Structure 1
């Protein structure tokens, strides 16, 4: 594979999953880790990603980010707009983090009165701009990679609340493997979030469909609503229609 092709593949993966590991890319591209490190260094020097120990992070996910650096922002805004339909007056809502959740926070109607719990400081800052919302940030150790609060204190606080609906992003989503992620601590927090509610809404752009990360968050049988920018009848969603999902 040519270097240009490797770089394109790396950028595709980092834009979709926010983080890549050199070891994983080495296996996927069948090249040495030294080659991958050189590729990541070059892409970092070009300002296309943020090189970190063992891999790289997406610039669009790193704070502070510019509007034009958010990957697939139009699709994420479409997903967020659909998700708004699930939020009703007086609800108690729980959200994860990520750029799609930030789009959701921006689109909350100005006259909506509701209570929002979130594990994301960036989402909380967007939500607090809405005067009629009560915003509660669940605190803990701030993950440098995911920009959400993680750890035992977060999981303990989550065990003490019950919400009407929980909005979660998906790092990987597949009909067989369900919702997956690449960060063990993030997975534990997401599992705790799922226990807070009987209504789980997964928000994901369609490019992440049929992708699998190393660690399982939950099966699709645990999900109530699945929201992408696609039309619900799209053939790309056919493999998800065997589940008892409300595809929006």
Structure 2
């Protein structure tokens, strides 16, 4: 549990800030302020210093993980070995001639690296980086569902995007999770991202959630869906792991 004392040392505080940003790909200054029990001014100074050191990307109201924004290389991605295991499992869900709605993030990026290069499938995505990475698959059809790019989540969002997703009838939706809890389900840090993810799920027959086990039992601000609304939960753990026992549901396959 994170220490809630204002006496927390600057170096330790910045390490905790980096852990939160790497774990969830992004963080709001207000959330970090509450978590570490320091002022938002202190958090802003920390974020500025970390940005100047090249450790994160400072944005309005918070910060992004560098690996999340600029490149689909996962060499320096947080928990990269766990994400490779997840990718190997999740790649088995994608079959020939499928229509797949797919999100963004470093775990999804690792998944794309494990999808056979010669697969013939159609991919719809709201992530520009995901679209560019999928273009390396010569037999895949890649459709970017474009709109205004949300600076915090790095995906296209808004009414036009949700409307376009409503016209899609896909076989599978693949999403990362910012937070996941057996009580609260899948959660996100902002409503804009939640609305897009809900539309992606609604556009698909089945939904797969990919997450490293470190995010289990974590809750963000806004709920995306209950666990009963997803079909696959993919982590790096063995399906019968004790950490996953509380997540078992009748219609949910744990991989």
Runs of 5+ unmatched residues, structure 2 = 1-7
> Of the candidates 41, 54, 78, which is equivalent to residue 34 of structure 1?
41
SS state at 1:164 partner: strand
Report the Cα distance in structure 1 between the residues aligned to 2:48 and 2:173, rounded to whole angstroms. 38
Report the Cα distance in structure 2 between the residues aligned to 1:130 and 1:221, rounded to whole angstroms. 33
With normalisation by structure 2, the TM-score equals: 0.92
Contact 2:232/2:254 (<8 A) preserved: yes
Runs of 5+ unmatched residues, structure 1 = none
Contact 1:206/1:230 (<8 A) preserved: yes
**Residue number in structure 2 paired with 1:112:** 119
SS state at 2:170 partner: coil
Contact 2:28/2:63 (<8 A) preserved: yes
Report the Cα distance in structure 2 between the residues aligned to 1:15 and 1:90, rounded to whole angstroms. 34
**Residue number in structure 2 paired with 1:232:** 239
With normalisation by structure 1, the TM-score equals: 0.95
Which sits farther off after the overlay, 89-98 or 138-147?
138-147
| Deviation by residue 1:60-107 (Cα, 9 ceiling, x = unmatched) | 111146543321222112211111111111111110111111112222
Q: CA deviation at 1:145?
A: 2.1
Q: What is the correspondence of 1:154-233 to structure 2 with a 5 Å cutoff?
A: 154-233=161-240
Contact 2:72/2:133 (<8 A) preserved: no
SS state at 2:75 partner: helix
What RMSD over aligned residues (CA atoms) do the two structures have, in Å?
1.5
Runs of 4+ in 1 over 4 A off after TM superposition: none
How many residue pairs were aligned? 248
Contact 2:166/2:199 (<8 A) preserved: yes
